A and B are shown apart, each in its own frame.
Chain A
Amino acid sequence: MSRDLSDFRTVLSEDEINRALARMAHEVVERNKGASDLVILGIPSRGVPLAGRLADRVSSVDGVDVPVGALDVTMYRDDLRLRPARALERTEIPPGGVDGKVVVFVDDVLFSGRTIRAALTALDDVGRPRAVRLAVLVDRGHRELPIRADHVGKNLPTSLRESVKVLLSETDGRDAVLVGAADDVVHHADAGEAR
């Protein structure tokens, strides 16, 4: 990460992230009445390692191996034409597919809700799950669409002038959730880094 994060304050430490994920794993199992028929799909980029961690914890809670994968939404985004074309990220649907399963999307930050809308559209082309749920590490508010999360690590009221950074050891070398001033004045939620 090229940006200097020294002005950012930590809102979730490594331990707190671990505890939040452990609680979310229990919630997922409770809500689903077990871990059977679950498919956990991370949304790139940081949703993917989070999905892996959540799946590990769900598996250890219920003793069943939960299929885990990734769903890239780049080509389904509604702001595709507003920026230069972006590199695609990996989509990896587990071999059993999603038909008739309960899919749990995992993302790092829930903000405008537009990424999740794109993910729902992308999932249409993959199959027809029985239900779709959403687990996010941080819900920072400012929704622009009627979308909400089923499992939240931390509700974090923010201003649009703030930026939320999720750091994960898999991608950034350490675990932390930070809040600081946004790079530019943000006109709308969608212009933030974490959408």
Chain B
Amino acid sequence: MIRHLLSAADLSRSDATLLLDTTEEMLRLTEGRSVKKLPTLRGRTVVNLFFEDSTRTRTSFELAAKRLSADVINFSAKGSSVSKGESLKDTALTLAAMGADGVVVRHSASGAPYRLASSGWIDARVLNAGDGTHEHPTQALLDAFTMRRHLGDLDGRKIVIVGDVLHGRVARSNVILLNTLGARVTLVAPPTLLPLGVENWPCDVSYHLDPVLPDADAVMMLRVQRERMNAAFFPSAREYSRRYGLDARRFGLLSDEAIVLHPGPMNRGMEITADVADSERSVIVEQVSNGVCVRMAALYLMLAGADETADDVHEGAA
């Protein structure tokens, strides 16, 4: 297993499968039983280091760590030493001094979690909870897990991802992970919302949504960030919605087994209509509960055991 979870690209197919299988067991262990807590990370400290606001992701990580009995410290940039000008390095040294075993990082700068993990400032395991426009690996894992629950093995499955790929770290992590798992991904977006070099990504690209829907096993709608609307990426919200929104007509083009995903938060009426979001084949609420289990699995696999190299620890314990 990898030491830090920084990018979906770091996960081999067997690592990814181990994470998804572990998630499955976490789900079984927390579903419908009186005590939803496991003692596994007792005495370990997990720091949620959020330089960018994200209530959903932070709460999900917090709940995951608490379900495994870890102590959780929430460290957000607002109202902390960071807003007083502290550097990432000094923040890391502070956390190291406090004895953090795991650090969950959300940062507006791409690569910040990588910097934290590779700098030698801190010994803790680093989990990327979203960095700039780069990656959001646990989101991709929870999406893949949700799809696997409904579709079975993802090998050869056709997944369509629609929306802002340019600014969206979710799309990048998903393309990488789904490709690792053998699925075929098609990105659908207006040319202005596709990043430079997308032709080298392991996926197909289309500017039109209608033709790719009939073959899709799953459709993931990405949020259109309101702040982008004024930046001339598309002429108007209505036009975007008309060309790329998932409405009842387009929903009808999907096969009867296809599912609809959305990483949230949704703009109902913009990229997805309310009737589609609330339909039986929408798994959007399920994604949230699966998110907690995926993060439990990641925290368990990264923090519960000894380092793979620490054979001497085992000998010494006898």
Interface residues of A (CB under 8 A from B): 72, 75-76, 79-93, 121, 124-127, 187-188, 190-191
Interface 0/1 of B1-39, CB less than 8 Å to A: 100000000000000001001100110110001110111
- Kindly state the separation between the CA atoms of A180 and B215 in the bound complex, as whole angstroms: 57
Q: Return A85 CB to nearest CB of chain B, in Å.
A: 3
Q: Which residues of A contact B196 (CB under 8 A)?
A: none
- Chain B: CB-nearest residue to A90: B25
Stretch at the interface among B152-160, B264-272, B301-309: B301-309
State which of B111-119, B202-210, B235-243, B310-318 sits at the interface with chain A: B310-318
* B51, CB-defined interface residue at 8 Å: no
**Would you mind naming 25 contact pairs between A and B with Cβ atoms under 8 Å apart?**
A75-B300, A76-B38, A76-B39, A76-B40, A80-B304, A80-B305, A82-B306, A82-B313, A83-B305, A84-B1, A84-B308, A85-B1, A85-B301, A85-B302, A85-B303, A86-B305, A88-B300, A89-B25, A90-B25, A93-B33, A125-B35, A126-B33, A126-B35, A187-B318, A188-B318
Q: Which residues of A contact B29 (CB under 8 A)?
A: 75, 91
CA distance A93 to B40 in the complex (A): 20
Establish whether residues A85 and B33, one from each chain, have CB atoms under 8 Å apart when the complex forms. no
- Additional 11 contacts, C-beta under 8 A, given A81-B304, A93-B33, A127-B33: A72-B25, A83-B306, A85-B1, A85-B303, A85-B305, A87-B18, A88-B26, A90-B28, A124-B35, A127-B34, A187-B318
A53–B317 Cα distance when bound, in Å, is 37
Query: Which residues of chain B from 212 to 228 have any CB-CB distance to chain A below 8 Å in the complex?
Result: none
> What is the bound-complex CA distance between A84 and B303, given in angstroms?
9
Considering the complex, give the chain A residue whose CB is closest to the CB of B314.
A82
Query: How far, in Å, is A192 (CB) from chain B's closest CB?
Result: 12
Q: How far is the CA of A83 from the CA of B313 in the complex (A)?
A: 8
State the Cβ distance, B181 to closest chain A Cβ, in Å: 17
B21 near A85 with CB under 8 A, answer no
In the complex, chain B residues whose CB is within 8 Å of the CB of A76: 38-40
Q: A98: shortest Cβ distance to chain B, in Å?
A: 10
A-B interface contact total, Cβ < 8 Å: 71
Rounded to whole Å, the gap between the CB of A112 and the closest CB of chain B is 12
State whether A75 touches B18 (Cβ < 8 A): no
Residue of B nearest to A87 (CB): B18
In the complex, residue of chain B having the shortest beta-carbon distance to the beta carbon of A188: B318
Which 5 residue pairs across A and B have the least CB separation, nearest first? A85-B305, A88-B25, A187-B318, A125-B35, A75-B40
Contact B307 A84 (CB under 8 A): yes
A contact residues around B38 at 8 Å (CB): 75-76, 125
CB neighbors of A among B29-57 (8 A): 29, 33-35, 37-40
Q: With the chains together, A155 CA to B104 CA distance in Å?
A: 50
Is the beta-carbon distance between B22 and A87 smaller than 8 angstroms? yes
Within the complex, the shortest CB–CB distance from B51 to chain A, in Å, comes to 28
Q: B313: which A residues are within 8 A, CB to CB?
A: 82
Q: Closest CB of chain A to B104's CB: distance in Å? A: 17
Neighbouring B residues of A75 by C-beta, 8 Å: 29, 38-40, 300, 304
Q: Which chain A residues border B18 with CB–CB below 8 Å? A: 87
* Across-interface contacts of A188 in B (CB, < 8 A): 318
Give every chain A residue within 8 A of B318 (Cβ-Cβ): 187-188, 190-191
Shortest CB-to-CB span from B149 to chain A, Å, is 15
Kindly report which residue of chain B lies nearest to residue A81, judged by CB atoms. B306
CB distance B300 to A85 under 8 Å?
A: yes
Closest residue of chain B to A126 (Cβ to Cβ) is B33
- CA–CA, A190 and B318, complex, Å: 9
Nearest chain A CB to B228 CB, angstrom units: 40
A124 to B315, CA, bound (A): 31
Closest to B34 in A: A127
Q: What's the minimum C-beta distance from A163 to chain B, rounded to whole angstroms? A: 17
In the complex, chain B residues whose CB is within 8 Å of the CB of A191? 314, 318
Collect the chain A residues with CB atoms within 8 Å of residue B303's CB. 85
Cα A190 to Cα B317 in complex, Å, equals: 11
Tell me the bound Cα distance from A84 to B15 in angstroms: 14
Say yes or no: B33 contacts A82, CB within 8 Å.
no
Closest to A88 in B: B25
Whether A84 and B35, one on each chain, are in contact in the complex, defined by CB atoms closer than 8 angstroms, is no
Cβ–Cβ < 8 Å partners of B21 in chain A: 87-88
